[in-house]
Amino acid sequence: MPDQPSLLPPAPPKPADPAASLFSIFTYDAEDVEERQSWDVDTCRTMHKAGRITWVNVDGLNPEEVERLCNYYKVHPLLLEDILTPNERPKVEESGGVIFCVLPMIFYNKSSNCIETEQVSLVLGKDFVLSFQEEPERDLFNPVRRNLRDAGSKVRERRADYLLYNLLDLIVDGYFVVMENLAERLESLEDTLLRIQTKRQLAQISSLRRDVSKMRRAIQPVRELVAHFVRSDSPLLDERTDKYFRDVLDHSIQAYDFVESQRDMLMNLQDLYMNQINLKMNEVMKMFTLLATLMAPATVIGGIFGMNFDVIPLAHQEAGFWFAVGGMLLIPLGMILWFRSRKWF
Amino acid sequence: MPDQPSLLPPAPPKPADPAASLFSIFTYDAEDVEERQSWDVDTCRTMHKAGRITWVNVDGLNPEEVERLCNYYKVHPLLLEDILTPNERPKVEESGGVIFCVLPMIFYNKSSNCIETEQVSLVLGKDFVLSFQEEPERDLFNPVRRNLRDAGSKVRERRADYLLYNLLDLIVDGYFVVMENLAERLESLEDTLLRIQTKRQLAQISSLRRDVSKMRRAIQPVRELVAHFVRSDSPLLDERTDKYFRDVLDHSIQAYDFVESQRDMLMNLQDLYMNQINLKMNEVMKMFTLLATLMAPATVIGGIFGMNFDVIPLAHQEAGFWFAVGGMLLIPLGMILWFRSRKWF
Amino acid sequence: MPDQPSLLPPAPPKPADPAASLFSIFTYDAEDVEERQSWDVDTCRTMHKAGRITWVNVDGLNPEEVERLCNYYKVHPLLLEDILTPNERPKVEESGGVIFCVLPMIFYNKSSNCIETEQVSLVLGKDFVLSFQEEPERDLFNPVRRNLRDAGSKVRERRADYLLYNLLDLIVDGYFVVMENLAERLESLEDTLLRIQTKRQLAQISSLRRDVSKMRRAIQPVRELVAHFVRSDSPLLDERTDKYFRDVLDHSIQAYDFVESQRDMLMNLQDLYMNQINLKMNEVMKMFTLLATLMAPATVIGGIFGMNFDVIPLAHQEAGFWFAVGGMLLIPLGMILWFRSRKWF
Amino acid sequence: MPDQPSLLPPAPPKPADPAASLFSIFTYDAEDVEERQSWDVDTCRTMHKAGRITWVNVDGLNPEEVERLCNYYKVHPLLLEDILTPNERPKVEESGGVIFCVLPMIFYNKSSNCIETEQVSLVLGKDFVLSFQEEPERDLFNPVRRNLRDAGSKVRERRADYLLYNLLDLIVDGYFVVMENLAERLESLEDTLLRIQTKRQLAQISSLRRDVSKMRRAIQPVRELVAHFVRSDSPLLDERTDKYFRDVLDHSIQAYDFVESQRDMLMNLQDLYMNQINLKMNEVMKMFTLLATLMAPATVIGGIFGMNFDVIPLAHQEAGFWFAVGGMLLIPLGMILWFRSRKWF
Amino acid sequence: MPDQPSLLPPAPPKPADPAASLFSIFTYDAEDVEERQSWDVDTCRTMHKAGRITWVNVDGLNPEEVERLCNYYKVHPLLLEDILTPNERPKVEESGGVIFCVLPMIFYNKSSNCIETEQVSLVLGKDFVLSFQEEPERDLFNPVRRNLRDAGSKVRERRADYLLYNLLDLIVDGYFVVMENLAERLESLEDTLLRIQTKRQLAQISSLRRDVSKMRRAIQPVRELVAHFVRSDSPLLDERTDKYFRDVLDHSIQAYDFVESQRDMLMNLQDLYMNQINLKMNEVMKMFTLLATLMAPATVIGGIFGMNFDVIPLAHQEAGFWFAVGGMLLIPLGMILWFRSRKWF
């Protein structure tokens, strides 16, 4: 191999250029593997070897460089457009000798406490796989990289479709990581919610509802996408890889079921919250109103004996005052007993 | 070319006649393009050239002129009826050597702050495309016109079905423009709603709900319509155009998913609004009732010592008044502590 | 034509006999048309001419006469039963050389302000069409009658299936008339509802909900019924009539979509109503409670200085009374400012 | 016929034995019919005649006797198990030369005012029909029995499948009887509900909801069951009986639609009820609160002039008292006018 | 048989090792059966006899031992992974000469009062069945074990697929045991709920909702799983076993219908609960407010005659006091009559 580069990642051409694309290239067969990172799309050409499988992972979508890469691998301009457009619907297409698919990676952003999706596009050719990611900071593919560097690993012995399966598998597994996190937030919310209800929980429920709804929409079409790989009889897909794609399909169906069940639980939780709040509020209002009602007879009695009539019964008896105050205490007591007997509180 | 007209749009025959139809005619092949605008349907005949593709765009649906145009291009009377009837359901038909489809263009009317739909009918023949719009003021097709005037553009080299694809694509892209606007209104509403709740927001939610529901009904059948072009094996549709129609199909599915997700968010928002309003109202009512309840003991004490008995304890002691007022302050304080301990407010 | 009758409708046999059946018979071909109305089923036999198409419209379902008519045209007893049973589910059947369908006509009854359905049964044979209506007062078929009397009309030149298409088309168009009316009631309700809310509106919403639900159930199976005519390859159905049935199918799908969207709007309206009522009620209760709370301090102050202690501060000062009254005014003012600052009202 | 028995129903072997099975046997052909009731399963054997159709109706499921009967007619043990298990899901099976189906009969129990279901199993063989009912008190098959005794009836001339159709038809017709009853309860509830709302209505709505939900689950799989008879090409099913099964299918679809529409109405009713209750309660609370608020100024005025200051304005004027009382009346009047002007009540 | 072991279960290798696997092995044919329990996976090898069917039930999933067992029976590594991963989605796969399925067993945990699921994996080979359970404490398969020991039982005479049917049948029957329990909790809740409403019931409803939702998600995919066995034409499945799998399919559909109906009832119950609570709370608040309102006139009258005017009517009459007190009683009485007449309480 003539121009074998160092494995150190090269310095970016213009530091912090957001639109620059970093190309990470692997070429491998069962015996050998070569790996390089470069900011220059032409490296891909020089790395390409007949009889070997090439994987180019692109981080950051610089339109011109992506176009040059696609031209080199003869990817149709419409697919190029799909790669460069953010928020494409997950889909799979077989055309012009390649299988193309675009689907979301889902991450949980701890600082903003919400879910973020990033689009990844995959192109499978006879002896190459291209993968396009929007942001270089977040990456799910390291386990594949480790396997590729390991001479005895299965991915080194199989064809390019097995590499694609590995990438898909890691993306779908990433959904579960996010959902575990969602499930934890749900459960901790449920735990606190049975003890105490706060206004913040309402915002949390609303935010969880948005996240779950986002997950659901993102994952739903992925099932169909993966099912295509199971059903397809493209010559690019080895029959032996079938059962692996079926495995990914099972996982993506499971992911969707999981998110559906979380949605269910969330609705349950929201009902529980509003019902709890209502019950408690009702309870409090009832007690306040009860107290006011219990004090009303005392006010009436006070008013009766406060009237300026010449002749007021009991007024000149020594114990009169105590009779009145006694009434003020006894009448509410009677009311309490009456309310209790009718189970009003 | 004998009767090449000036490219200036002609003056309308009767100014401000709402029922007049303006015919914008393009005839083109890879080498040449001719363009004319006319209020006279017969111009379409004179412009027609064998071996060239003709596009007639009709703005304003004058029944007689549209009928004459349809007769010239041998469009079936039932299709003519569909073209002239407003609010037809989106549909596609292949019959009598043409493919006919009718679908809505969707616009956002800034002044009335609501969504408006306009019906557009498209007819694809062997070497012609007819497009019928209701109102000349609103138009989405200018990008195609620019491409047609450009000698090197793809649309000049392909057959009539590629022109139709371009028109469909622009119509479906128009949905996204409107939805972006909807999304903005939704988000700004959500932002304000978490801070403050007003009665106007309720009307806004209701109006957004109507708009989203309108969008949804309009876009839903468009997916099936576009899918027909992908599935159809009509000789009018070039196999090479297939992947372009599939692209439009992806977009129309995506548009429907988008509108579904907005509907979800809206329901979330409405629940959030009503819950927020309820919580706040409950809070306020609780405080008012609490205040009234706290003042009730003072009223009772005032009543007790206001009674006209000869013998009233403390009445003749100097500090009696202050004892009573002290009770008026201490009892509510005790109540506050008790309520707090039970987390009643 | 030997026994050409007068076109005057004959006098009913027994006046106001609700169970009598009025037979309106047309026999026609491209050249000629004969028309008669009779209370006697035997007239149908005498009118029947080989080579001509016969249309018998029956108003009022007298079981015996309908059975005799069905026997004459060899309609299977099970179909006869369907014709005579009210409230059959819309359906279509091909059996015994005829196509039979039963579907609802929908009318808006202005006096009772609600929707009424009437069942119509249609039988298509090789050279005849039978139509059965329950009540003679309501009829949708006059446009067809006018066309039949017009020598140049299409229906005169085509076979019996084209007549059937005309009848179906008029029935489905009748749905739109009723729905326009529903839409008007909905819109006028919506207009008033944003200004003022009354208890009567709740009953109106409930009644609209019942009407829309009735429409929906009535129209839903009609789509499938009409689709049968499009799909069927019965020799009774001319290929040229296909596109006309497809047109009716489009209309019936559109009708169903329309009624679905009205149902949506109605739910929106009901939510809006209940939310508006709740908001307004909350507002009013808040104001009443606020007023009571604002007056409570005055009551307390009155109570304080009404106590019969020997020593009451300010009691012997001239301005004492005004101090107290001033406090009665200032404290509520302070409360108002406090409440305002917390945005409690 | 040798051992022709008397037609009198035999005495039960052990009186009031709940587990005993009563066998009612018909054997018939076009010319002749034989009928017997017996508590002994062996009677079935002796009644069986080659060339004739036998119908054995079993009332009460004694496991042993049912097993012996099934063995005699070679019914598979798994089907036997289905016959003996209550609350099986409605289903149909063709196996071992018979068609087996199990479906619910639905009855309305007037005394308990709720819906009851009873399972009926039907087995159709080449020349026999077996029917198994759980309880002898409730029976729907008498019209068939009458027809069987009538020499000229259709059921006597046709094969066993026509008898099965008759039984199915009676079972499905039984659904409508129950639903008419449900509809009446619904309508009478709706009528009273618009005038007055009581707590009992809530229980009624809840019970109706349970009944409708029960009906819905019971009827739903029946449609599919009957559809099987229409689709099946079993040699046991005569082609001529097809249209009769289709008729039953129509009825079972109609029954399901009916129950669905009742469910809709019930939801409408429940919303109406809760909304009416809420509105009325709000109205009453508003009036109570209004009254309390209107009396508060009088309390304040009373408090003001009840204060023990030396100098109280008006106190020594003769009309002072009337000024105060006048204020007590005028201020609430003013409040009423103000509230009215703001449409607060 | 050389190494026939004792039938006593062996002592665990390391006591209370949670990760140890207990292997329960049956090898049988129509004539003979051998049974052993062992903590050592190699016992499975020694037990294996050509021409006999082997059933290995594994309790506790020690990854290494399970892997060794799977290797011995040539189970694909992907299936091995499914066996070892908890909470796999129910599914069935045919690959590599075996049929593999994984589904949940559902148990009701009395102590924690909630539903627990345990995953069971089944592998069907030509002459063996493997079953993997997570926990040894809970087991459903004893009835099969008894049948296997019984020389005359059907399972001894049939092939391995019949054994698998038996296991599936027991698992699905286990669902009904749990659902009966759910139904009991639902009914007892419903009974108490109509009499009295407590806060605990809300938590019960919420917990039942979670349980039913869990059941529903667990059972839903089982129907499809069992349907696969009915549809499959694998040589591993004897045609005669078909009707048995269809029986299990019926039961699993029935289980799903049951759980759906419980979900319906639960929603009904929750609505009933909240409505009951609301009605009762409204009733109580109305009574409290009514009492307060009824005492307000007495306060006003007391205030009127407590004013310190020189001239107060009635003040110097002997019966004045009684007039005032009489008014205090009569006015509320009048109010009560008025409220009653307007049906306000």
Cβ-Cβ pairs closer than 8 A, A with E, add up to: 117
Q: Which helix (H) or strand (E) holds B36?
A: strand B33-38
Binary contact (B268, A213; C-beta < 8 A): yes
Mutation target among E309, E310, E311, E345 for the D interface, most CBs of D within 10 A:
E309
Is A285 in CB contact (< 8 Å) with chain E?
yes
Binary contact (B303, A307; C-beta < 8 A): no
Binary contact (A313, E321; C-beta < 8 A): yes
pLDDT band at E2 (very low <50, low <70, confident <90, very high): very low
Residues of chain A positioned with their CB less than 8 A from the CB of E317:
310
Residues of chain A positioned with their CB less than 8 A from the CB of B335:
291
Binary contact (A281, B286; C-beta < 8 A): yes
Is B39 in CB contact (< 8 Å) with chain A?
no
Comparing alpha-carbon positions, the chain C residue that sits nearest to D247 is C78
Binary contact (B304, A302; C-beta < 8 A): yes
Is D275 in CB contact (< 8 Å) with chain E?
no
Convert the pLDDT of each residue in D255-306 to its tens digit.
998 898 888 888 888 888 888 888 888 889 999 999 999 999 999 999 999 9
Convert the pLDDT of each residue in D55-84 to its tens digit.
999 999 999 999 999 999 999 988 999 999
Task: Nearest by CB to D247, from C78, C196, C301: name it.
Answer: C78
Q: In three state form, how does the secondary structure of chain D look? A: CCCCCCCCCCCCCCCCCCCCCEEEEEEECCCCEEEEEECCCHHHHHHCCCCCEEEEEEECCCHHHHHHHHHHCCCCHHHHHHHHCCCCCCEEEEECCEEEEEEEEEEEECCCCEEEEEEEEEEECCCEEEEEECCCCCCCCHHHHHHHHCCCCHHHHCCHHHHHHHHHHHHHHHHHHHHHHHHHHHHHHHHHHHHCCCHHHHHHHHHHHHHHHHHHHHHHHHHHHHHHHHHCCCCCCCHHHHHHHHHHHHHHHHHHHHHHHHHHHHHHHHHHHHHHHHHHHHHHHHHHHHHHHHHHHHHHHHHHHCCCCCCCCCCCCCCHHHHHHHHHHHHHHHHHHHHHHCCCC
Cβ-Cβ pairs closer than 8 A, B with C, add up to: 116
Binary contact (D299, E297; C-beta < 8 A): no
Binary contact (C254, B89; C-beta < 8 A): yes
Task: Nearest by CB to A292, from B243, B254, B292: name it.
Answer: B292
Mutation target among A223, A245, A300 for the E interface, most CBs of E within 10 A:
A300
Residues of chain A positioned with their CB less than 8 A from the CB of E277:
279, 282
Residues of chain D positioned with their CB less than 8 A from the CB of E261:
213, 217
Residues of chain C positioned with their CB less than 8 A from the CB of B271:
none
Residues of chain A positioned with their CB less than 8 A from the CB of E303:
303
Is A289 in CB contact (< 8 Å) with chain E?
yes
CB contact at 8 A, B129 and B53: yes
Is C71 in CB contact (< 8 Å) with chain B?
no
CA separation for the pair A288, A268 (Å, rounded) = 30
Nearest C-alpha of chain A: how many angstroms from B289? 7
CA separation for the pair C149, C155 (Å, rounded) = 10
β-pair partners for B91: B102
Q: Identify the DSSP state of A158.
A: S
pLDDT of residue B327 exceeding 90, the answer is: yes
Comparing alpha-carbon positions, the chain D residue that sits nearest to E298 is D299
Residues of chain D positioned with their CB less than 8 A from the CB of C302:
299-300, 302-304, 306-307
End-to-end alpha carbon distance in chain E: 88
Binary contact (A304, E308; C-beta < 8 A): no
Report pLDDT for E168. Answer: 97
Comparing alpha-carbon positions, the chain D residue that sits nearest to C95 is D243
Is C254 in CB contact (< 8 Å) with chain B?
yes
Convert the pLDDT of each residue in D166-199 to its tens digit.
999 999 999 999 998 898 888 888 888 877 888 7
Report pLDDT for D18. Answer: 57
Reading the block at residue D282, the tokens are: 């709000």
Residues of chain D positioned with their CB less than 8 A from the CB of E243:
76, 78, 93, 95
Report pLDDT for D187. Answer: 85
10 Å CB burial of residue B81 (0-12, 13-18, 19+) is: middle
Nearest C-alpha of chain D: how many angstroms from C102? 12
Is C284 in CB contact (< 8 Å) with chain B?
no
10 Å CB burial of residue A192 (0-12, 13-18, 19+) is: middle
Reading the block at residue A145, the tokens are: 């990289």
Is E192 in CB contact (< 8 Å) with chain D?
no
Task: Nearest by CB to E292, from A250, A253, A292: name it.
Answer: A292
Binary contact (D285, E290; C-beta < 8 A): no
Cβ-Cβ contacts under 8 Å for B115 (sequence gap 6 or more): B106, B107, B108, B109, B178, B182, B211, B214, B215
Report pLDDT for C17. Answer: 56
Report pLDDT for B86. Answer: 86
Binary contact (A202, B276; C-beta < 8 A): yes
Is B97 in CB contact (< 8 Å) with chain A?
no
Amino acid letter for position B223: R
CB contact at 8 A, B90 and B107: no
Binary contact (D300, C303; C-beta < 8 A): no
Cβ-Cβ contacts under 8 Å for A104 (sequence gap 6 or more): A90, A117, A118, A119, A120, A218, A222
Is A322 in CB contact (< 8 Å) with chain E?
no
In this structure, of A295-309, C90-104, C231-245, E186-200, the range with the lowest mean pLDDT score is E186-200
CB contact at 8 A, C167 and C141: yes
CA separation for the pair D208, D214 (Å, rounded) = 10
Cβ-Cβ pairs closer than 8 A, C with D, add up to: 118
Tens-digit pLDDT profile for chain A (345 aa)? Answer: 344 444 445 555 454 455 789 999 999 999 999 999 999 888 888 888 888 999 999 999 999 999 999 999 999 988 999 999 888 889 899 888 899 999 999 999 888 888 999 999 999 999 999 999 998 888 999 999 999 999 888 999 999 999 999 999 999 999 999 998 898 888 888 888 877 888 788 888 888 988 898 898 889 899 989 999 998 999 999 999 998 999 899 899 889 988 988 888 888 888 888 888 888 888 899 999 999 999 999 999 999 999 998 888 888 998 999 999 999 999 999 999 999 998 888
Mutation target among D180, D272, D293 for the C interface, most CBs of C within 10 A:
D293
CA separation for the pair B84, B62 (Å, rounded) = 8
Is A345 in CB contact (< 8 Å) with chain B?
no
pLDDT band at B1 (very low <50, low <70, confident <90, very high): very low
Is C162 in CB contact (< 8 Å) with chain B?
no
**Checking phi first, is residue B53 left (phi over 0); if not, alpha (psi -120 to 50) or beta?**
beta
Report pLDDT for D155. Answer: 93
Residues of chain E positioned with their CB less than 8 A from the CB of D296:
296
Q: What is the mean pLDDT of residues D315-340?
A: 92
Nearest C-alpha of chain D: how many angstroms from E334? 14
CB contact at 8 A, D172 and D252: yes
pLDDT band at B128 (very low <50, low <70, confident <90, very high): very high
Mutation target among A288, A295, A308, A331 for the B interface, most CBs of B within 10 A:
A288
User: Cα D22 from chain centroid?
Assistant: 27
Binary contact (B311, A320; C-beta < 8 A): yes
Nearest C-alpha of chain D: how many angstroms from C159? 27
Binary contact (E289, D287; C-beta < 8 A): no
Is A84 in CB contact (< 8 Å) with chain B?
no
Q: Identify the DSSP state of A7.
A: S
Task: Nearest by CB to E295, from A296, A310, A312: name it.
Answer: A296
Binary contact (C315, D309; C-beta < 8 A): yes
pLDDT of residue B16 exceeding 50, the answer is: no
Is C294 in CB contact (< 8 Å) with chain B?
no
pLDDT band at D10 (very low <50, low <70, confident <90, very high): low
